[in-house]
Amino acid sequence: MMKNIYVLCGGRSPEHEVSLVTAMTIINGLNKQLYRVVPVYISREGCWQPLEPVTHELASVEELRAQTGSTVSAASSAADFLARLAADGDGGACVFPALHGEYGEDGTVQGMLELLNIPYVGNGVGASAASIDKTMTKKIAAAAGIPQSEYLYFHRQDWEQEEAQWCQRIETLIGYPCYVKPAKLGSSIGISCCANREELVVAITEAFRYDGKILVEQEIKGREVQLAVLGNERPVCSVAGEFVREADFFSYEKKYESGTLIKRIPAKLSAPVYEKLRAMTLSLFRALDGSGLMRTDFFVTDRGDIYLNEVNTLPGFTKNSMFPVLWEKTAGTTYTQLLDRLIELAMERHAGKQVTALQGVEA
């Protein structure tokens, strides 16, 4: 019997459009001989709409953008879908959350699926929730002994009450240039590089449009190097990759709209530096209790010093994104094979949880 793969896409996050691109590529890459592929569009308002099973090649993300209707509430539409999903049961369904950012990559959807006992691709509740919050990731990384740049974080109320004091703290501890980031957002949305106080105030105001907590980091002069992880209890790490580009801020436009990015895989690293990166990547994966997949990004200076930049539990996933290309270069894994492997890992983790639950009942 064909397994139903429900691909969640869209969502309430500012990364809604990026999610649709990811989902379209995943849907086109899935083996339709093995899976019955059902897109589930989630509107910007949070309404859920399962679409018809896809048997053809999607030509545009517009094929995923359903009209949910103004009279349908987010709660009732989600309940209808979850009832359908629960009816599949007994291993007949697996969810592939192709959702970036909050309300999808942050543990919320994962927790809902755990309650329904439905297998899903990717990281669990804890890893998703910790990794989406850059400040939590930094604390866990520090406990694991992974170096990182100086940083400060604060909430909107802190800024409103003590704007001048926070500017002074940033200038004293971090200095310029510095980076201002929403704590819980990806794809470089809401991130700014600041060279003085005037730019800093503008950047903080912009970042608070996306999150009530923001992070300010010291700039590290170095190349950004990325590594990919696959696995559950026995994770494996890819070779390292990097984008050949100028050493400036990697904006949303450069990531998704320039069309001129060139990858260098393997990255230009000495063997000892790569081994350090690999060890740190696997250590952080375990510290976060990762499962399925993860991408870690580091800065490497000319002296070979290493600093963590960020962790991504649902990295960019088009065929040209760094994560799938790293696995193609590491093990010859095709995009379709990578999707198969992620579904296998999801089912493996789910089966393990069933054994643990049964043993708990028997005890």
DSSP for 35-86? EEEEEEEE-TT--EEE-PPB-S----GGGG-----TT--HHHHHHHHHHHHH
310 is in an annotated binding site: yes
CATH architecture entry for 151-218: 2-Layer Sandwich (3.30)
The one-letter code for the residue type at 212 is G
pLDDT digits 0-9 by tens, 317-350 = 999 999 999 999 999 999 999 999 999 999 999 9
Q: Enumerate the β-bridge partners of residue 225.
A: 242, 298
∠ at Cα 206 (201, 212), nearest 5°?
A: 100
The one-letter code for the residue type at 108 is T
Indicate the average pLDDT of the chain.
91
**221-340: what fold?**
D-amino Acid Aminotransferase; Chain A, domain 1 (3.30.470)
pLDDT digits 0-9 by tens, 163-192 = 999 999 999 999 999 999 999 976 578 899
For residue 97, which of 88, 89, 106 has the smallest C-alpha distance? 106
DSSP for 319-343? TTSHHHHHHHHHH---HHHHHHHHH
Catalytic: 321?
A: yes
Place 256 in a pLDDT band, splitting at 50, 70 and 90: very low
Q: Which CATH class is domain 3-120?
A: alpha beta
In this predicted structure, what is the pLDDT of residue 253?
Answer: 52
The pTM is what?
0.91
Which of 13, 131, 187, 238 is an active site residue? 187
Would you say residue 274 has pLDDT above 50? yes
Catalytic: 19?
A: no
Catalytic: 187?
A: yes
Would you say residue 258 has pLDDT above 60? no
Burial of 106-115, coded b for 16+ CB within 10 Å and e otherwise, reads bbbbbebbee
Q: Specify the pairing of strand 93-97 against strand 3-10.
A: parallel
Every domain of the chain and the residues it spans: 3-120, 151-218, 221-340
Burial of 155-185, coded b for 16+ CB within 10 Å and e otherwise, reads eeeebeeeeeebbeebeeebeebbbbbbbbb
